[in-house]
């Protein structure tokens, strides 16, 4: 079998030596819908091989033919493809433009690791093996969350990650744009969100318990044109960019920029600055009409920039301490008929979920939004384990599975002392490969609500592109196969075959310049000696989803740095939602 990642559904080897590409090889676009893939192949393979891949009519030999074939749509779906390689050429057909593009990713892998370089190496020959591949993804949502709020990643880095996602047939980039530590998207009507909210004076170096600080300003933001470029670049690669605007918690940077957004009758919001530490901030949005109007304006600009059907609104980790001290918040809770101010978080989610729905978009939020009634059409990101996904699916809500016990890529990759700033559980390449997105106990109908899976990389302790690479790769390759390929049950998966195929994939990552974690452990320059982390002992556990964080709770626990679960800890049982 060819060393492909993710593994195709069906692969059949043929006789002979396959098809040799050369300077005279043509690229034929047959019918409509294939032009985008042709442009990408000509630019990418043309750079690596030095061949022009000149346009051809598709009737002769020595040609790579690209076709969007509606007949394949019913068989393999719009993201499916079929690739046939014979001695005279390669015939690539997609059920839709996206399927054709994913097939082109497979074709590139078949040419060998040097096909991932940006310029030709002398003496290379290029040959596709004789093969027939029929392929289609298991899930429609195959995503990566990139947290650019805690440590800003410049636009060029985001574009690079879109290429890396495409190379692994991943089709969603969840861009975490706002948080306590920074606001990263230009909002024209509220310029202080970036003038003030995108910069912090210093940054905690390491885990929040660290005594180390990087005493220089950190920040940056994307202009509206930057966002347009990112979204367009993603669309050319059949990737949807899902924006996240956090509310009503994780909002300290916004309150630092516009103090009137906070609970002014409970705290001196004029003294609030952009947060320079990790963990959960006590500063949350005030439940006023002015705040609703402010964020509706923000979201109007977000919707104009992002065509994604989903908008992520956070909805998690909102300590109610300031609301309890605020007469305004207490009066609002009483006016709404809420038992206490704790219900204001769900009220925010309901308001903006309905607001998005009225504009043809869908809210998605972290699984804390299950604490209250979900707006129609709202979807859930299940991060605290599988149980939130199970509850949502049984209640008829769509869900994206991203449990921190399995696919939080900021968690450490090995138990050794050399792991840089070790956070959370040990999640090896093999562990990620054995992740099963569909919660057990669901009926076939309920399981259809599992849109797919997402790996999350939070960047509190990943301060630059090299550290992000180290945490994401090679584990993203295992995740990509989980999300794409029809794998058996976790215990029955052929880890040895996957590791064999990774031998070729490491060379692809080398050609792409990815600073991945080597199989034998970190290189000396990847380590962070003396920078404290927070490793969790033992295998990961999936507790009952905890109660909303209270003002008097132990500070700092968060979705990025979840609390250690012990047998003595009591968790609130999530109320089962009606089917």
User: What three-state secondary structure class fits 456?
Assistant: strand
Least Cα distance to 136 among 10, 36, 1, 241 occurs for 10
CA pair distance 331, 322, nearest whole angstrom: 13
Establish whether 276 is a catalytic residue: no
Residue 288: both structure tokens together: 């006023």
Least Cα distance to 402 among 447, 367, 358 occurs for 367
**With helix as H, strand as E and coil as C, how does 500-522 read?**
HHHHHHHHHHHHHCCCCCCCCCC
The DSSP bridge partners found for residue 365 are: 380
Omega prior to 258 cis, within 30 of 0: no
The number of residues making up the chain comes to 579
Distances from the Cα of 76 to the Cα of 258, 273, 340, 525, angstroms = 50, 52, 51, 45
CA pair distance 197, 257, nearest whole angstrom: 5
Catalytic pick among 69, 147, 317, 410: 317
For residue 202, the tally of other CB atoms under 10 A from its CB is 13
Establish whether 418 is a catalytic residue: no
- Residue 381 CA from chain centroid, whole number: 11
Establish whether 371 is a catalytic residue: no
Residues 6+ apart with CB under 8 A from 508: 109, 113, 116, 167
CA pair distance 421, 411, nearest whole angstrom: 9
234, 162 Cβ separation under 8 angstroms: yes
Catalytic pick among 179, 342, 367, 368: 179
Catalytic pick among 190, 207, 221, 250: 250
Residues 6+ apart with CB under 8 A from 24: 62
Instruction: Write out the catalytic residue numbers.
Output: 179, 250, 317
């Amino acid at each position: 079998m060819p060393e492909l990642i993710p593994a195709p559904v069906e692969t059949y080897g043929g006789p002979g030596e396959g098809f040799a590409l050369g300077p005279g090889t043509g690229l034929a676009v047959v019918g409509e819908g294939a032009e985008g893939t042709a442009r990408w192949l000509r630019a990418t393979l043309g750079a690596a091989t030095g061949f022009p891949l000149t346009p051809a009519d598709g009737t002769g030999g020595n040609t790579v033919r690209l076709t969007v074939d509606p007949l394949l749509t019913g068989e393999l779906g719009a993201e499916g493809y079929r690739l046939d390689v014979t001695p005279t050429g390669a015939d690539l057909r997609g059920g839709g433009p996206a399927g054709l593009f994913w097939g082109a990713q497979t074709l590139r892998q078949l040419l060998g690791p040097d096909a991932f370089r940006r310029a030709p190496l002398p003496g290379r020959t290029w040959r596709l093996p004789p093969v027939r591949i029929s392929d289609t993804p298991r899930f429609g949502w195959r995503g990566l969350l990139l947290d650019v709020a805690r440590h800003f990643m410049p636009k060029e880095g985001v574009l690079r990650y879109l290429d890396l996602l495409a190379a692994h047939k991943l089709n969603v980039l969840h861009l975490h744009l706002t948080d306590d530590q920074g606001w990263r998207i230009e909002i024209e009507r509220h310029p202080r969100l970036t003038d003030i909210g995108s910069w912090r004076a210093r940054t905690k170096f390491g885990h929040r318990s660290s005594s180390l600080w990087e005493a220089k300003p950190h920040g940056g933001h994307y202009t509206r044109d930057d966002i347009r470029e990112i979204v367009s670049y993603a669309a050319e690669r059949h990737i949807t960019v899902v924006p996240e605007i956090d509310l009503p918690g994780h909002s300290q940077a916004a309150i630092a920029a516009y103090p009137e957004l906070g609970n002014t009758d409970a705290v001196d919001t004029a003294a609030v600055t952009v947060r320079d530490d990790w963990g959960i901030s006590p500063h949350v949005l005030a439940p006023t009409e002015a705040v609703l109007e402010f964020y509706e304006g923000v979201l109007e600009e977000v919707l104009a920039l992002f065509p994604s059907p989903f908008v992520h609104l956070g909805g998690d980790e909102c300590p109610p301490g300031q609301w309890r001290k605020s007469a305004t918040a207490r009066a609002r809770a009483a006016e709404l008929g809420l038992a206490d101010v704790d219900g204001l978080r769900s009220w925010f989610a309901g308001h903006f979920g309905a607001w998005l729905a009225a504009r043809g978009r869908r809210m998605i939020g972290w699984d804390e939004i299950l604490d209250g009634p979900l707006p129609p059409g709202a979807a859930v990101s299940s991060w605290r384990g599988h149980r939130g996904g199970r509850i949502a699916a049984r209640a008829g809500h769509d869900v994206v599975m991203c449990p921190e016990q399995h696919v939080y890529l900021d968690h450490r990759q090995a138990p050794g002392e050399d792991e840089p700033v070790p956070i959370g559980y040990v999640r090896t390449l093999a562990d990620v490969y054995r992740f099963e997105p569909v919660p057990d106990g669901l009926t076939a109908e309920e399981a259809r609500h599992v849109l797919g899976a997402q790996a999350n990389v939070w960047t509190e302790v990943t301060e630059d592109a090299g550290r992000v690479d180290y945490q994401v790769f090679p584990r993203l390759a295992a995740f990509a196969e989980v999300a794409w390929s029809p794998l058996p049950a976790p215990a029955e998966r052929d880890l040895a075959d996957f590791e064999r195929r990774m031998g070729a994939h490491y060379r692809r990552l080398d050609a792409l310049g990815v600073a991945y974690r080597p199989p034998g452990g970190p290189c000396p320059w990847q380590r962070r000696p003396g920078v404290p982390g927070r490793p969790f002992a033992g295998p990961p556990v999936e507790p009952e989803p905890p109660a909303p964080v209270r003002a008097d709770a132990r500070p700092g626990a968060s979705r990025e740095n979840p609390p250690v679960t012990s047998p003595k800890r009591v968790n609130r049982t999530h109320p089962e939602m009606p089917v």
